[in-house]
Every structure is written in C-alpha cells, then in structure tokens.
Structure 1
Amino acid sequence: MSREGAGLFAAFRVLGRFSGHVPHVLRYHGRHREFYLAAAVGRSVHTYNVSTRRPGNTLPQDITCLAADRMLIFASYDNILHAFARNKEVVHTYEGHKARIHLLQPFGDHVISVDVDNVLIVWNIQSEEEYLQIDFDKATFAVSALLHPSTYLNKILLGSEQGTLQLWNIRSNKLLYSFPGWGLAVTTLEQAPAVDVVAVGLVSGHIIVHNIKFDETLMKFQQDWGPITAISFRTADGHPVMAAGSPVGHIALWDLEEKKLMCQMQDAHSTAIAGMTFVPGEPLLITNGADNALRVWIFDGPGGTGRVLRSRMGHSAPPTKIRYHGLNGEQILSAGQDGTLQSFSTVHEKFNKSLGRGSINKKKSKKKGLKLDTMALPPITAFASEVAHQSDWDGIVACHQGYITCTTWNYQKTSMGAHKLRPEEFSKHKPIDIYATAVDITSCGNFAVIGMSTGQVDVYNMQSGIHRGRYGKER
C-alpha cells in the first residue's frame, strides 16, 4: 500500500504524535491577541493555542525545518520551501536549492533559507522570486546558525562550524564585519532582550553573551551536558533569566544579574531539547523534543525552577500493541517500546492519559530518575483490559518482554497497579528461560489469565493478586 493510502483504507487522523526533532516556532496573532505554537509532526504542521490543536496541510515528505513570521508559517522538506497561511493552506512555494534546507529565517518581506551545500538564498515572499544568492566556502565558513539581530535593518548574523561569525547587509550584498569567534563551532544564535546583544551557543557547551556592536563579550557560561541545542530569554516580571537546552534533555537556567547558574531542570525531555521558547511577558517556557513531547513549564514557585503546566506527549518509541479500552470506542490503550502504557482519546487529545512506565520498585525509580533507572521493566508485549470493576481495583494486566512477572495497572489512577503476578514456585528466584507470553481478563473483571512460555496457564484474582489455579502441564 502506498503512503498516501488506498481507496479502501484512507488516513483519517493521527493519534499520539505531537513533536519531532524539528524545533517549534512561536508566533503572535495580532487580531486574535494570542500566541500560537507551530510544531512539525512528520509531513504536517500542527498549530496550537492555549487549549486546541489545528492540524495543517500535509507535505509530500517529512518536514526538516520550520519558521514563522506575523502572517505565515514556513516549512521545508528536502530542497523545497513552502509557506502556509491560516495554519493550513500552502500559499507559496520556493524552489531553487539543490540540497536539503537546514536553516530558515523570515526577514520582513523576505525569507532566508540556507542548505547543507552552504548556499544562502533570499526570497521575496509574495512573488516567490529569488532576490539574492550567496555561496559560502564550506572549508572556511560552513553556515550553522542564522539570526536577524533586533533593530538591525537589512542585516543578518551568521554563525559557522569554524567558530567565526559574519554580519551581512542583505540589501547591498556586503559583508559588514567578521567576528573571530571562540574557535569552536556555533550551534545556535539567539537575540537577547537588550539591543545589540546576542547569545551564542557553542558545541563545547559554552554560552557567550556578546555585544555585536562593539564586538565585546559581556558574559560567559558553561554547562557540562554537551553542545547547546537551544537558548531562550525570559522577559516576564523583570527576571533576567536565560535558559539553555542540551542533547541529554536537561535545561539550565542562568541568572544574568548574578551571572551564575540559578537552577537545573533535569530530564525535561528524554531526548535532546529541540526547541525552547519563553512566551513574551509570561513566566512560561515551551519546549519540544524528539521524544514526541511538547511541554509548557510555569515558573511560579521558589528557587526559580519550573513545573509542567500542561503537556502533549505520546510514545517516544514505536508501539508494540494497541487495543480499545471499554465499549464506546473513545479510548485506545497503547503499549510502546519506550516501556510506557498510554491511553489516546479518539474524541479529543485533552482526554489522553499516560499510565507511566513499568517498574520493579516505583519509589526507587522516582529517586534515581529516568536516565539512571535500573528498576524499569522491559517493554509491554501484551495486555488486556476490562472496565467492569475498574473503579474498585486494577482493570489492566500486562506481560513484559522476556519477563516472568506480569503487572497490573489502574486506569482510573493512571498508574501502575498494586500487584505483580508470578507463579509461586518462582517467588524467590527468577527462572532463565520461562516468561509470560499472553494475558487476558475475564469479562467480569475478577480474574487475570496468564499464559507462560512453558505452556501452562495461571489464573489470579485481580482484587487480591492471589494465585487461584493452573491449567496445562509443563512441556
């Protein structure tokens, strides 16, 4: 079957997909007086406000780069650039690159794109014509970051893998100034709230707060988690705070007045921080990553650290099993290779639930954190659910890859349940080649039936977790 789908089975709706490795963009709608978040999800652009999502039009291939201005959202795949209007219609197409586009920057009546062959093209947005093309030598200046400094008319700042920076006048096609840099590749550029000041993220984990008018370094910070993947400045409440993302999913918050680390938000994502934006005038930070999660963090507590205000998240690895929960067809339970069990609503994604990750010891898992958790159970390979009595006791039973113990889950509490079901003869030791292969729950919700790799079938009471019988003989 082709990707577009056959006539019999046509794609209707995507469930549980919210984010990828492409950084999100934030745009302000003047008439609505609202901020909108645009995120690339496969071949589509999804636009969010505070409470809703609007799926956009679909492009032929997965989106690799995203940008937005006051009116349009720009999305590229391979060497083609498109502009979306009203969050769904493709109104402009720009063709001229010979290689994949990896950087985008809206620029007044123009949009700038840079491809991996180091070709920069300035496009006229309305006419779709090429206004200017600049070819850079990869050996001396491989463009790795792009920024339009605030109030700098017709000028753009380029960062390179060689570590140097260049300030160009696009209108006159002139190189105005070359910054020697710091001898390390530039990974990201971000405008500071102050005019003439730019934050430069380096591959070493250093962040340089630099005045580009006088070519003077104002501050220098370093984090130990690898290259800087994203930078954002907080402008709310007069708090001079800078946030920096990392490849391991941690976020560092720096106090710019004290010039020191304020706090760390570890495991904000399970993969690299792809995009990070403070909402102007609000104590809110939006992040996204390749772990298929979008999160809004609010900074309203002591110590300066953030907590999750709202989120949209799905599996960070492919699902292993899905099935409907209940008889109304409104909830789908899904187990994934990431070890989580999740519920996706067919009505609206605000009803989605995450039941969490299986663990041998939940308390120890919470203490160790996501990355260092040695108590995590293998991914779920099969599960069964029953709504009868789910308000009274656990209503889901699951077996795990190569594991003899089965777990119960509570849909109402959205968490792992009270019981771990395994044959009594293995209560004190774990067998090597015996594991659970299949599970089911009786329609009354009272008993769990578990099939083992030996051919035997065990029955457990769901309320108490007590073993109630066995069928079959060992092979």
Structure 2
Amino acid sequence: MGIFQPFRAIGYIPSGVPFSIQRLGTETFITVSEGKAFQAYNCAKLILVLFSAQFPHKMRTLASYLDFTSVVYAAHICVFKRAHQVATWSRHSGKVNSLMVFGDHVISVDVDGNLFILGFKGVEENYAPVWHILMGNKFTPTCMMHLDTYLNKVLIGSQEGGLQLWNFSTKKMLFEVKRWGLSVTSCVSSPALDVVAVGCSDGKIRVHNTRYDEEVVTFTHSMPGALTALSFATDGQPLLASGGSSGVISIWNLEKRKLQSVVREAHDSSIISLHFSANEPALMSSSADNSIKVRSISASAYVLNNE
C-alpha cells in the first residue's frame, strides 16, 4: 500500500455532472462534481468553500438541500452534511441517472425505471425509503422536475421521447405525452404555472402547457446537436436560456417568441448546466470544458477555470 492516498484534484472544477444550486440565508452556493468528489463555491465571487473526500467511483449526479448534499455513484446514494458523510442508501439495482430534492424528500430514478422516494427531514435518522414506483419497460428516464403547486408530483422525461407525470404519494401516473418520438435530454419548469420547457436530441425546445397538454411554442437551437441544459429567468424578464452539445448558449424571448441573443463562444465544449440567478439578470453555466462562468445578460461577469 502506498504512502499517499488520493485527496483532491488540483485545477479540476466541474465534470460532466449538472451542478446544484442552493440558497442559505442571503448567500447562494453552487455544488459541482469534480469526478470522484464534490466541491461547493460561493456564487458571489465563485470562491471555493467546501470539498469532499473522494468516492470509489465517479459521481453520476448530485442534489443539495440546506447543509446537505446527496450524491450518486454507481447504484449508491450517499448523503453528506457539509463534507461529512452521514448516510448511505443502496436500494437501486441499476445506475441512478436522476436525483432531485423535493421538500422533505429525495427522489431518485435509475435506468431501469425504478423511482424511489426517500423521507428527508434534515437529520440522519429520518433518512429512509418511503415509496417505490416502477414506471414500465418502454420508459427509460432521462430527466426529472417538479412543477410549482403540483403537490407530491414529478414530471419525468424519457429516452423514448415522452413525458410522464406521476403522483408519488398514490403511485399513479396522471398523464403521458408521447408525441415527440425523440429522446428528451433536458427539462425545466417555468415561473408560469403549468408551463415547462423540454429539450430534445434534435436540438428543438418545446415549451409545453401540462394542464392542457398543448405546445405553447417551439424553438430550434442555433447550432446542431442535442439540447443539454435549459433555464428560465426568474427576475420578471420573459427569457429562456438553452445550451447544447456545441457549447453555444441561446437566449429566447418568450413574449416575442423569437431568439433574442446568442453567446457563440460561451464554452469550448458541451453545456452541462444553466441557471438564472434568483431575481437578477445573471446566468450561470458549466461545461465539460472544466469551467463555470457567470454572465450578465449582455456580457461576461467573471470566469472560473483552470487556465
């Protein structure tokens, strides 16, 4: 056995895992995967404030809630209070590809269509499985989101091109959208009730009303490739940001239903995550090029990378 053990990768900022944003008091923090560990930055100046020990395998996804971070590697879900591991849960048999914190619950979905809901009250002894749903053979989950005012419900996108809305309390599927026939690669809820944006492998964005099962508007991303990230503005502006495998970020005006601007050299590789800051015109992005960037709507504010 060697004297030195792996601890932290120098100059490694984000990997290909989407980041997680959480607000504590007046400060906002971003938690990112750096492969076999996670680290957290203060969003005000992108200063590193926390990093974890390394895991046996690369992380697949993560989600944060208050001081707690849930991470997934292989089929295991590990819970950390700041940098200290407090729980491990290994009910999944397949690889977990989506994880979401929803109120007092952590929701996880694996490639075999198993959805598990875990009760989470913020203390270690209350972290326990509550519900299990099997979504069926012809539905391979790819992304997951919660819509405001939809009590105990999650909307899940699939590789087969559909969406399913599930009530995890009753374990019933409420409705399904099948019409696109292309893999759903990204999905996000909007500030408007019942409205979601769905990104597909053909580069199109479908803004959809779930209550009436109607398409509001369809946009086509400015560069070829799959849609990989979406985010709605929350400061009152009718804007939707989209990022794709080409590294380009597009800003869409939902009121005028047209493209407002394009950041052509946003990143040198595929966009992994996008997030509009709460109540301010700032857009945060991460990429497989190992960088996190924060921009105003019109110009870059500051950059963190390993250059």
Q: 2-side partners of 1:70 and 1:194: how far apart?
A: 25
**Match for residue 38 of structure 1?**
31
- Structure 1 letter corresponding to 2:178: P
In structure 2, C-alpha distance between the alignment counterparts of 1:123 and 1:13, rounded to whole Å: 30
> Taking CA–CA contacts closer than 8 Å with sequence separation of 6 or more, which of the two structures ends up with the larger relative contact order?
2
Which residue number corresponds to residue 394 of structure 1? none
SS of match in other structure, 1:91: strand
Match of 1:310 in 2: 302
Residues 233 and 91 from structure 1, CA distance in 2 versus in 1: closer, same or farther, beyond 3 angstroms? same
CA–CA distance in 1 between the matches of 2:90 and 2:228? 28
* Structure holding more strand per residue: 2
* Matches of 2:49 and 2:79, distance apart in 1: 16
Percent of residue pairs bearing the same amino acid type: 34
- Structure 1 runs (4+) deviating above 3 angstroms are 9-14
Match for 2:142: what amino acid? S
* Structure 1, unpaired ranges of 5+: 300-304, 315-353, 355-475
Matches within 5 A, 1:168-183: 168-183=166-181
Contact 1:56–1:89 at 8 Å: present in 2 too? no
> TM-score w.r.t. structure 2 length?
0.92
SS of aligned partner of 2:59: coil
Equivalent residue, structure 2, for 1:167: 165
Q: Quick one: distance in 2 between partners of 1:154 and 1:141?
A: 21
Aligned partners of 1:145 and 1:158 also within 8 Å: yes
Q: Tell me what 1:100 maps to.
A: 95
Q: Separation in 1 of the partners of 2:281 and 2:72?
A: 31
Distance in structure 2 (CA, Å) of the matches to 1:85 and 1:279: 24
One-letter code aligned to 1:191 = S
Alignment of 1:366-445 (within 5 A): none
Query: Does structure 2 conserve the Cα–Cα contact (< 8 Å) formed by 1:113 and 1:121?
Result: yes
Alpha-carbon separation, structure 2, partners of 1:244 and 1:28: 23
Question: What residue is the counterpart of 1:434 in the other structure?
Answer: none
Give yes or no for contact 1:274–1:288 (8 Å, CA) kept in 2.
yes
- Structure 1's 147 and 181: CA in aligned 2 closer, same or farther, altered over 3 A? farther
- Structure 2: runs of 5 or more not aligned: none
Rounded to whole Å, the distance in 1 between the matches of 2:104 and 2:90 is 17
Q: CA RMSD for the aligned pairs?
A: 1.6
Q: Secondary structure at the match of 1:235?
A: coil
What CA distance in whole angstroms lies between the structure 1 residues aligned with 2:51 and 2:71?
11
Q: CA deviation at 1:92?
A: 2.2
- Measure the CA separation in 2 of the matches of 1:272 and 1:67: 21
Pair 1:308–1:215, CA change in 2 (3 A): same
The AA in structure 2 aligned to 1:167 is: L
Q: Does residue 133 of structure 1 match 2:125?
A: no
How far apart in 1 are the matches of 2:179 and 2:64? Answer: 28
Which secondary structure does the structure 1 equivalent of 2:255 belong to?
coil
CA distance in 2, matches of 1:71, 1:149: 23
- Give the structure 2 partner of residue 247 of structure 1: 245
Count of paired positions = 299
